Amino acid sequence: MKSRVYFTAVHDANDTLNVNKRLTTLLEKSGVLAFILKGDKAGVKLHFGEEGNTGYVRPEHLRVICDGISGKGASALLSDANTLYRGRRLNSKDHLAIAHEHGFTKEAVGADIFIPDDSKKEDKIDVRIEQKNIKIAKIARFFIEADALVTVSHFKGHILTGFGGALKNIGMGCATREGKLAQHCDVSPVFFADKCLGCGECAIVCPAGAIQIKNKKSVLDTSKCIGCASCIAACPTMAMFIDIEAGDKTQEKIVEYTLAVLKEKKGKAGFINFALRINQECDCWGADNPRIAPDVGIFASLDPVSIDKASFDLVNKACKKDIFQKVHPKQDGLKQLRYAEYLGLGNLDYELIEV
């Protein structure tokens, strides 16, 4: 049976008043928050944006969603887990600070913000899933124990998965640092010697001692590499870069992690995708990056697979081509959706309802 995906067109992301008007209509007509009950503690999973990034979903729009949740007598708590890479979201203190700098304050969004701490045992939980790649998923406890989960995703390109939407936001985004490492660990960096300055930053951050500097160039011992990608984040010239051809297994792992987060949330999870400010790369990039598509609109659904497929289809329709294939030609982003359907997370077939 087809899943319903509600959609409202938005042609100018900078027209905040109109975006919020469209969003309010979307929430009302779609009933995407209807599963939230009085007294629920609802987690809102989002991405606060790395320092320098401009693609993330704006706090003004989170305000509308949080008001929708509190209007049901429930409380909303905005959250994201810390990153694997060096940057402003590596630990909870800095992560909260960058969230505030991007305007995500309690006053602005009408909800508290909680960043699970990887150094605290009580903030983490193991979820047994026994899937092909992942047997036990390492998740930030908050997302598992929230009474309900609303996932707010910025739909955009992604170097490892072609595009990123709800599945990527949940699977990678709710994982602890250990869980993120598990999802990346088949992806060792590729070294481009001609770009290397010999600065040594990669060797400093490498937790596995896999890098040495010899003759003013980095030397990578792949047998020691655990695929954490810290050197990629640290390298100023992209001499260390991700092996984008190894992304297929990562896509499967992301989907298996999504299953771990959602398996106890049946009937208690909703998804909202913003296909606005559609960048080539994800919101983890600590710099602005090219817009690859016009603003398209906002989607709401109870099905994480359908909402990502509808977002993918409508963005490509607006571009008159598969723009994600064009900017990330080595990735088949639909693989994540096909595998998610196979695991029973949702349907590729959807009914689009424009509001």
CA distance 259 to 161: 17
3-state helix, strand, coil in the chain (%, to 5): 35, 20, 45
Interacting residue with ligand SF4 among 226, 246, 348, 352 (CB under 6 A): 226
CA distance 58 to 76: 16
CA distance 350 to 308: 10
Residue 84 CB, shortest distance to ligand SF4, in Å, is: 9
Smaller CB separation from ligand SF4, 139 or 210: 210
User: Within positions 186 to 205, which residues make up the interface with ligand SF4, using CB under 6 A?
Assistant: 189, 196-202, 205
Q: Identify the three-state secondary structure at position 74.
A: coil
Size of the site for ligand SF4 (CB under 6 A): 29
Residue 52 CB, shortest distance to ligand SF4, in Å, is: 18
Q: Cα 163 to the chain's mean position, in Å?
A: 10
Q: Examine residue 229 and tell whether it contacts ligand SF4 (CB under 6 A).
A: yes
Query: Residue 192 carries which side chain, given as an amino acid letter?
Result: F
Q: Identify the three-state secondary structure at position 105.
A: coil
Q: Examine residue 210 and tell whether it contacts ligand SF4 (CB under 6 A).
A: yes
Smaller CB separation from ligand SF4, 14 or 237: 237
Q: Examine residue 225 and tell whether it contacts ligand SF4 (CB under 6 A).
A: yes
Residue 241 CB, shortest distance to ligand SF4, in Å, is: 9
Residue 225 CB, shortest distance to ligand SF4, in Å, is: 3
Stretch that binds ligand SF4, among 38-46, 106-114, 222-230, 248-256 (CB under 6 A): 222-230
Residue-by-residue DSSP string for 221-258 = -TTT-----HHHHH-SSSSEEE-GGGHHHHHHHHHHHH
Instruction: State the residues that interact with ligand SF4 by CB under 6 A.
Output: 189, 196-202, 205-208, 210-211, 218, 220, 225-231, 234-237, 239-240
